[in-house]
Amino acid sequence: MIADYVQLTTTTVLFIIIPLLYLIYYRKFHYFIFDQRTKVTKGKTSRGKCPPSFPNGWFWIINSCDLKPGHTKAISYCGRNLVLFRGTNGTPYVLDAFCAHMGAHLGFGGKVCHSTCIECPFHGWTFDGETGDCVLSGVENKIIRMADKYEYHDIENCTPVPNNDNTTNIYLKKVSEKEEIRLKRYICREINGSILVWYHSDEKLREHPLYEPFDLSNELKMNKMQPRGESINYINCHIQEIPENGADNRHFDFLHQSIIDIIFPFLKFHWTMISERATNPRLREIMVHPHPEVNAYKMRLLDTFINDSNRRFLNVLSLNCYIQIFSKHKIFIFNATGFQMGPSLVYLFLWSPYFQVTFFQTVTPLEKFNQRLMHRIFSTKPIPYWLSTLMLMGEVKQLFSDMNIWNNKIFGAKLSYNMKNDADKGLHSWRNWYTQFYEGCHEHESKSLLCRSLAYPPPQLFSLSSKLSICLTSLLPIDIRCSSVHSFE
Ligand code: FES
Ligand SMILES: [Fe+2]
């Protein structure tokens, strides 16, 4: 009898309690969470008149762990086809995708060589990722290849080059002799587990970023934070719609109902928000928070991340979340200090008496009206992995409400602002701030060739642990599923 009891207890502990504890705390829930309902229609809906589709700035391209040394990837963003590769020296490089010889795509079969170079799969011309120069293959000291340049006299109508004796038909004319061959190169930064690429419509500024993305390493180390989940969604809208949402404080109360609102109708989330340009000399005064610990944290963030070289490109947000019980008692839940940097990066630092979380959000325009949105969560070690994932799900659930609007709205070139109200005044000011990122883009976009679409990578097969987490998340009252397990390290 006792033996049976001992056996039952041992079996329960071994096969139920320990695996459950492992799952609850130690299992690393590094997941992609994606919205299966989003249909990317590639901008078929008319959006009305819009600013240019590809503003100047830093854009997130890929996670560091998805590009091993010596590997190449074909990528397309900002209407361009590019090749991304990691040299055997460990550095990532981005070049124009099409070979200067006869146009082969270097991302399909190109080989990494000489530490920083990529060799074309067609006839072996080699391009240096450091400079974009075409260098003589197999030569270690990188001598730049010289070649004559030819182009069609009239490629569309195929008329020959007029010549004096009219004896031969020549269609290709020499445009330059012995010219150095090179491809456009794009500046990359590898930072906090991501590879970011700088895009600027002005050729002179393509190689000289105007500001630098934040390095969160110290902040994450200081707060003992780790990456704990990521979500990627594709959206059909103009890029500006997405960051503009962060500065739109009125929509929170209408669009972002929470699960708690539905389950406990007497509990209401209440939001307040401030959005201000970092160039405002009164920024610190405006951002002061009544909660002393939040205030100290916020002021430290302002001092750490804003400097004279990036101030112009930053907009600062402060979002407070309260729970209101029976429309009376307000309980402070969290404050988020957000930095909108350039047209596409957002760093959000959440401070709460109960937890501390950091989000990194980016939007990358792939083609016109086709955006890739990435959300990553970093949380403190004591927060279990499953809870971090749940927090990310909470954020992504809010995102789905926004996506429903973005996927279907027009841009809104003509607006009806109520300037007596602070919310619309803020949006007006925010649009004026954001417009700086379009400088020179219209001319560049109308001249340059837009890219061929690349097929999106097929979804990865679900692993056993993903299936398990799908079962678990199915029990939750939210419509999100986890797909493949994904490690950021
Ligand atoms: S097309 Fe690249 S070497 Fe010929
Ligand atoms: Fe929103």
Backbone angles phi, psi at 288, to 5 degrees: -55, 135
ipTM attached to this prediction = 0.96
What phi, psi does 323 have (nearest 5°)? -110, 135
Task: Please name which ligand lies nearest the alpha carbon of 242.
Answer: 2
Strand partners, 335: 320, 351
- CATH 3.40.50 describes domain 29-45+214-485: no
Cβ atoms of 483 and 34 within 8 Å: the answer is yes
Q: 53: which 2 tokens?
A: 């589709």
- Distance from the alpha carbon of residue 277 to the mean position of ligand 2, in angstroms: 19
Q: Which mutation among 72, 113, 125 tests ligand 1's pocket best, with the greatest number of atoms within 8 A of CB?
A: 125
Report pLDDT for 346: 97
- Is the CB of residue 106 below 6 angstroms from any atom belonging to ligand 1? no
* Distances, alpha carbon 36 to alpha carbons 241, 260, 383, in Å: 21, 23, 27
Into which CATH architecture does domain 63-144+181-186 fall? 3-layer Sandwich (2.102)
| Whether the CB of 181 sits within 6 Å of ligand 1 | no
Q: Is the dihedral of CA 258, 241, 76, 234 positive or negative?
A: positive
Measured from the CB, is residue 99 less than 6 Å from ligand 1?
yes
338-355 residues labelled b (16+ CB within 10 A) or e (exposed):
bbbbbbbbbbbbbbbeeb
Any atom of ligand 1 within 6 Å of the Cβ of 111: no
Would you call 301 helix, strand, or coil by DSSP? Answer: helix
Task: Identify the pLDDT of residue 417.
Answer: 86
Q: Cα(248)–Cα(240) distance, rounded to whole angstroms?
A: 12
Q: How far is the CA of 440 from the centre of ligand 2 (A)?
A: 29
Question: Could you say which ligand is closest to the alpha carbon of residue 257?
Answer: 2
**Given this model, what pLDDT does residue 29 score?**
46
Sign for the pseudo-dihedral over CA of 255, 259, 265, 268: negative
Rounded CA-CA distance 186/206 in Å is: 7
Q: Are 253 and 225 in contact (CB under 8 A)?
A: no
Q: Contact, 97 vs 61, CB < 8 A?
A: no
The answer to whether 474 and 467 are in contact (CB under 8 A) is no
Handedness of CA 7, 9, 10, 16 (dihedral sign): positive
- The pLDDT, as a whole number, for residue 35 is 43
Could you tell me the sign of the dihedral formed by the alpha carbons of 199, 205, 211, 217, in that order? positive
Of the candidates 44, 39, 86, 53, the one whose C-alpha atom is nearest the C-alpha of residue 67 is 86
CA 129 / ligand 1 centre spacing (Å): 16
Note the pLDDT of residue 464: 45
pLDDT in tens, 373-425: 888 889 887 787 777 877 887 787 788 889 889 988 898 888 888 888 888 88
> Could you tell me if the CB of 122 is within 6 A of ligand 1?
yes
What is the whole-number distance in angstroms between the Cα of residue 245 and the centre of ligand 2?
5
**pLDDT lower than 70: segments of the chain:** 1, 18-45, 138-140, 164-168, 257-267, 327, 446-489
Q: Give the pLDDT of residue 227.
A: 84
> What distance in angstroms lies between residue 416's CA and the mean position of ligand 2's atoms?
20
**Which amino acid, 127?**
F
20: Cβ below 6 Å to ligand 1? no
What's the chain's Rg over C-alpha atoms?
26
Ligand 1 centroid to 104 CA: how many Å? 6
- Quick check: CB of 108 below 6 Å from ligand 1? no
Instruction: For the beta carbon of residue 155, count every other beta carbon within 10 angstroms.
Output: 10
In the 3-class helix/strand/coil scheme, how is 35-52 assigned residue by residue? CCCCCCCCCCCCCCCCCC
The domain limits of the chain are: 29-45+214-485, 63-144+181-186, 146-179
Q: What is the pLDDT of residue 231?
A: 82
What is the per-residue pLDDT for 480?
Answer: 38
